Structure 1
Amino acid sequence: MEHAFSLAGASLVALGSGALWWPEHRLLCVSDLHLGKSVRLAKLGGSALPPYDSRETLSRLSDDIDRTGAAMVICLGDSFDDLESAAGLPDPELRRISRLQAGRRWIWIEGNHDPGPVSLGGMHLGELTVGPLTFRHIADPAASAEVSGHFHPKVHLRMRGHSLSRPAFLLDDRRLVLPAYGSFTGGLRSTDRSLTELMRPGALALLTGPTVLAVPMPR
């Protein structure tokens, strides 16, 4: 359910859930939770999604925190579908977040969907550097030793006559792009130009799921 690798000398683990685990710092990182997405879409009269997306996302996050014993959690931007969604989360979800934050350092990184502070616990930062790695929402093409999200990368493969489509981490020698952690968030194919231009030749895709599958990034 996990795949160990290194980036800029940091020993990291990609979890099958789509979370990143850094054992040295007891740091768990997730990106693009998009909490409140179903509620926002319902208000806009768009496609109806099951109203349990936030509950399901927080449940999986709770499982990852319990499993790893994380002392620090970084939410790498677009944690909420918009700032109104952050303010309008139901009380059970707000209480769940408070319980998850208790006793650990919690960092909200700003995203394009949630560009300002929210009235929840934890720190609110534009980006954060821990050891050799910088955590930000949107990749900086000129950067190195970078962990980012935003693109919701997804990989489509044909294996033994069957199609396989999963959210995926994208990894090269300079950066890691995390998959979207939130339920019902959709994804961008790794073959999209924005990703093929961002990731260097030789990049890997780490497909999430019950078994983390490492393959050359489809271009």
Structure 2
Amino acid sequence: MNAALRLILAPARRTCGSLSVRIAGEACVLRCSGAMWVPAHGALIVADLHLEKGSAFAVRGQMLPPYDSRATLDRLEAEIEELAPDLVVLLGDSFHDTRAVPRMALEDRARLDRLATGRDWLWLEGNHDREALNRSMARDAVSDARLPGRIVGDMILGRLRLTHEPEALTADDDRHGEVAGHLHPAAKVAAYGRGVRRPCFVTDGSRIVLPAFGAFTGGLNVLDPAIADLFASPPLAAALGRDRVHALDWSVLR
């Protein structure tokens, strides 16, 4: 990591293996799960859960193990139990398609209700789940399909602006403070004689793109122009390891 980027991010290793950085001056913790914790606001932020992706593929005849929602909610519950957030923000594409909510197992739906109890629970609309969210929040929605919390658009959290899809850079706007998902960033490095590819955060200290939190979500190489062109200078890729977040210089990526 170059000296200028290090000065902006002020990275620091935490005992749990997470990486503490500053985004637009706001202290943020990049968690090994792929979640971002903003301690000053008691806020847990996760992107792109894509719940019920497995069942969506099954409907089309492609059989995937039907446990993705459960695995994703296991990880989310673990973060909530450890951090006890006052606010949980789901950064869009929380559901894979328009019919995902009715396909959820009753125990998974009940778990969502339990996780949301006692805290502010916000769903940002994504391109995959906008209709699903609005159907489930409608007044005539059946009780089994009604979701906890509330739907919001882009929102402000301290110095941060939370949105689903990152916006392209313009000549007079560096998108300062933007926190986004949508692109499922992944970093690839050469290690042990082979390529290793891991979901990652990507940030230049001004804005950040979060990795997808869902179990079956895949990833887009951060060197792809869809991600790389969001940053005026080479950013940091913070890759998710088994028990730590690895800060990777842009120059080592493949």
Band the TM-score falls in, shorter-chain normalisation: over 0.9
Partner secondary structure for residue 194 of structure 1: helix
**Runs of 5+ unmatched residues, structure 2:** 1-16, 137-145, 170-174
Q: CA deviation at 1:127?
A: 1.2
Match of 1:97 among 99, 107, 112: 112
Alpha-carbon displacement from aligned partner over 1:89-119 (angstroms, at most 9, x marks no partner): 1101000100100000000000000113233
Residue 140 of structure 1 corresponds to which residue in structure 2?
167
Do structure 1's residue 26 and structure 2's residue 42 form an aligned pair? yes
Partner secondary structure for residue 49 of structure 1: coil
Partner secondary structure for residue 48 of structure 2: coil
Residue 212 of structure 1 corresponds to which residue in structure 2?
245
Do structure 1's residue 131 and structure 2's residue 147 form an aligned pair? no
The residue identity in structure 2 corresponding to 1:101 is A
The residue identity in structure 2 corresponding to 1:57 is T
C-alpha distance in structure 2 between counterparts of 1:87 and 1:127, whole Å = 26
Do structure 1's residue 152 and structure 2's residue 167 form an aligned pair? no
The residue identity in structure 1 corresponding to 2:244 is T
Do structure 1's residue 61 and structure 2's residue 88 form an aligned pair? no
The residue identity in structure 1 corresponding to 2:67 is Y
Question: What is the TM-score of this pair, normalised by structure 2?
Answer: 0.83
The residue identity in structure 2 corresponding to 1:113 is H
C-alpha distance in structure 2 between counterparts of 1:110 and 1:144, whole Å = 21
Match of 1:165 among 193, 197, 201: 197
Q: Superposition pairs for residues 70-85 of structure 1, below 5 Å?
A: 70-85=85-100
Partner secondary structure for residue 24 of structure 1: helix
C-alpha distance in structure 1 between counterparts of 2:153 and 2:102, whole Å = 20
Structure with the higher helix share, 1 or 2: 2
Alpha-carbon displacement from aligned partner over 1:39-90 (angstroms, at most 9, x marks no partner): 01100113x2211100010010000011111111000000000121023211
Partner secondary structure for residue 150 of structure 1: coil
C-alpha distance in structure 2 between counterparts of 1:93 and 1:199, whole Å = 38
Percent identity of paired positions between Structure 1 and Structure 2: 39
Match of 2:216 among 184, 206, 215: 184
Partner secondary structure for residue 129 of structure 1: strand
Residue 27 of structure 2 corresponds to which residue in structure 1?
11
Q: Which runs of 4+ in 1 moved over 4 A?
A: none
C-alpha distance in structure 2 between counterparts of 1:38 and 1:162, whole Å = 29
Question: What is the TM-score of this pair, normalised by structure 1?
Answer: 0.95
The residue identity in structure 2 corresponding to 1:84 is R
Larger Rg: 2
Residue 174 of structure 1 corresponds to which residue in structure 2?
206
C-alpha distance in structure 2 between counterparts of 1:17 and 1:180, whole Å = 10
Q: Which moved more, 1:83-92 or 1:103-112?
A: 83-92
Q: CA deviation at 1:160?
A: 4.5
Partner secondary structure for residue 99 of structure 2: helix
Q: CA deviation at 1:11?
A: 0.2
Structure with the higher strand share, 1 or 2: 1
Q: How many residues align?
A: 218
Alpha-carbon displacement from aligned partner over 1:10-42 (angstroms, at most 9, x marks no partner): 000000000000111110000000000000110
